[in-house]
Amino acid sequence: MKKIAVILSGSGVFDGAEIHEAVLALQAIEQEGASWHCFAPNIPQHHVINHLTGEEMAETRNVLVEAARIARGNIDDIVNLNAVDYDALLLPGGFGAAKNLSDFAFTGAGCEVNPEVKRACQAFAKEEKPAAYLCIAPTLIPAIYGPGAKGTIGDDPDTAHSFNKMGGEHINCPVNDFVLDQKRRLLTTPAYMLAGSITEAASGINKLVKELVKLA
């Protein structure tokens, strides 16, 4: 059975991992006959957002502890993620990817990736193992793969511009499809960058995961 490592960035679209994307991806992995295990950095969230009002809350939360909600406790600190133990990698989106795994939400093209996240992702690249990045998570790709890496965040011009400015090659993509950088064995899909429903998000995620498991 192929084993997929999944990196989460918290729990909740505005300050962590996008829950629908994460669960859809986990389900798709199982439906393709593979297994998954989740990881997250053991760090404080950048901030906590009230998902009812959209306002920042005066409290602190831990990315690993929050991500454990999605994984039902089946999760480890990212320091324990070793690429040799897995066949492929997947990162759901959500603002946590741009606030906790990196600082893209605040610095754009000048963003830096959390050192442990970068180490883990680059290990998969070095081992030439396939990796998938959903929604806003592809903004990490140029920092991990270097110049020329292809990917999509859908068709948002500002985010695409930042992706290109960082050295990536952005490709516009509809919600129900994915982009494959064959040379790097790298897959991306817009998911909730474009999706207006769970069904729309699933349409691209399911196709991407099917190809990811096949490549693994």
What the chain holds in terms of domains, given with CATH numbers, is: 3-215 (3.40.50.880)
* AA letter at 112: E
Q: Any idea how long the chain is?
A: 216
CA distance 87 to 41: 20
CB atoms within 10 A of CB 200: 17
Q: Give pLDDT, residue 162.
A: 95
pLDDT at 191: 98
Strand partners, 7: 39
Residue 58 to residue 47: CA distance in whole angstroms: 8
Cα-Cα-Cα-Cα torsion 11, 151, 206, 2, nearest 10 degrees, comes to -90
CB within 8 Å of 216: residues ≥ 6 apart = 2, 4, 34, 87, 88, 129, 130
Phi and psi, residue 17, nearest 5°: -75, 145
Annotated active-site positions, please? 135
pLDDT at residue number 122: 98
Backbone torsion region of residue 46, taken as left when φ is above 0, otherwise alpha when ψ lies between -120 and 50, otherwise beta: alpha
Q: What end-to-end distance do the CA atoms of the chain give, in Å?
A: 10
Please report the pLDDT score of residue 93 as a whole number.
Answer: 97
For the chain, residues with pLDDT lower than 70 are none
Give the model confidence (pLDDT) of 101-151 as tens digits: 999 999 999 999 999 999 999 999 999 999 999 999 999 999 999 999 999
Query: Taking the model in full, what pTM does it have?
Result: 0.97
Distance CA 216, CA 34 (A): 10
